[in-house]
Structure 1
Amino acid sequence: MLLHHLIYESQVTHPFTEAELADLLRKARITNEEKGLTGLLLYAQDGRFVQVLEGDVNEVHELYFMRISRDPRHQHLTLLADGRLDHRRFAHWRMGYRLATPEALTELTGHVSTADATFLLPVLPNLPSPLLDKLLDYVQYTASHPLLKR
């Protein structure tokens, strides 16, 4: 199996309630368990998601391109990283979750607006591993929401 990762950012079409987030995470964890995927979901109060998916390249791409990108709850999806992975960063998380501030997501994605994909051009060669490491550090050193633990 080729180990692969994909990171994207999106804007929700309407703010998620705590119950909607819990339901989304429950379903994601079931799907990821079935497909051998791991990952992380960050959600900010401004309605932005940043998600990491790790696993078999075909499973990761199918989930993102066939389901997530077609989900009407998302808009303005931006692919931040998509490539091979030497080892899983979120190996024990079928879908980890953290509530993030809008400022934290801006910092994690590089202090840039992802509305225009040209922001990736100067950093593309170095993006995947540092972004994964930053996301992992963020979730390891911030408090988890008690109701939405992995």
Structure 2
Amino acid sequence: MYRLIYVSTASDAIAADDLENIIATAQRNNATRDITGVLLFNGLNFLQVLEGPRKEIEQLFMHINMDRRHVSVVTVLQEEMKERIFKTWAMAHRVSPQSKAPGRTTAENMSDILEGELPEHVRRVLDNFEQLKGI
């Protein structure tokens, strides 16, 4: 099993339905590929954790890199893993409370993710992302 974490910046043209489409597509497609993870958005930046078979993750990440809804895709972590963090989530998502994400009037809190059992190095990455202000 393989884990990849990346961050990116939303393109200027991202719209409310883009965010919803990203989430719906990920949830639908990841389940068939045995990929789990979480997508975090703070109104400006995305952070995504992908877990699953390495070949599937690498193929998905090639498509993610070509997606015009975000720019400056930076891989933060790539590693072999023994156990998934997000075992039951085809693609959970959270929008940080301070976000002015397009189309969002309410935002989900990330505390359920941060309070879960996480490897320390993954926790640091998620903690750092939570500190980003977004918009």
Shared fold (TM-score greater than 0.5)?
yes
- The residue number in structure 1 matching 2:110 is none
Amino acid in structure 2 at the alignment position of 1:9 = V
SS in 2 for 1:7: strand
Amino acid in structure 2 at the alignment position of 1:76 = S
Contact residue 89 and residue 132 of structure 1 kept, 8 A:
no
Which of 68, 74, 77 aligns to 1:81? It is 77
CA RMSD of aligned residues (A): 2.6
- The residue number in structure 2 matching 1:117 is none
SS in 1 for 2:122: helix
SS in 1 for 2:20: helix
- Alignment partners' CA distance in 1, 2:42 and 2:121: 17
- Alignment partners' CA distance in 2, 1:11 and 1:31: 22
The 5 A counterparts of 1:50-129 are 50-64=47-61, 66-100=62-96, 101=98, 129=119
- Structure 1 residue 18: Cα displacement: 3.6
Contact residue 29 and residue 94 of structure 1 kept, 8 A:
yes
Amino acid in structure 1 at the alignment position of 2:76 = L
Q: Which runs of 5+ in 2 are unaligned?
A: 100-117, 131-135
Q: Which runs of 5+ in 1 are unaligned?
A: 103-127, 140-150
From the two aligned structures, give the one with the greater helix fraction.
1
SS in 2 for 1:62: helix
Amino acid in structure 1 at the alignment position of 2:120 = P
Identity of aligned residues (%): 28
Q: Tell me the number of residue pairs that the alignment of Structure 1 and Structure 2 aligns.
A: 110
Moved over 2 A (4+): 14-20, 128-136
